[in-house]
Amino acid sequence: MATCRLCKGQYPQDQFIDGNGPRYLVCVRCAVDEGYLPENEVNSLYDDRTSRARMALYARRYGPMFWVVAGWFFWALSFSAIEFWGTLLLVALIVGTVSTPVLFFLRTAKFQAQLRRLTP
Other CB atoms within 10 A of residue 87 CB: 12
Q: Which pLDDT does position 113 carry in this prediction?
A: 94
Confidence of residue 99 (pLDDT cuts 50, 70, 90): very high
Q: Which pLDDT does position 42 carry in this prediction?
A: 74
Mean pLDDT of the residues in the chain? 87
Written in H, E and C, the secondary structure of the chain is CEECCCCCCEECHHHECCCCHHHCCCEHHHHHHHCCCCHHHCCCCCCHHHHHHHHHHHHHHHHHHHHHHHHHHHHHHCHHHCHHHHHHHHHHHHHHHHHHHHHHHHCHHHHHHHHHHCCC
Average pLDDT over residues 107-119: 90
Does the pLDDT at position 9 exceed 90? no
Q: Which pLDDT does position 6 carry in this prediction?
A: 86
Q: Which pLDDT does position 46 carry in this prediction?
A: 66
Q: Where are the domains of the chain?
A: 2-41, 48-117
Q: Which pLDDT does position 41 carry in this prediction?
A: 77
d(CA 57, CA 1): 20
- Give pLDDT tens digits for 30-50: 888 888 888 777 766 667 788
Contact assessment for residue 6 and residue 26, using Cβ atoms and an 8 Å cutoff = yes
116 CB-contact burial (10 Å; exposed 0-12 / middle 13-18 / buried 19+): exposed
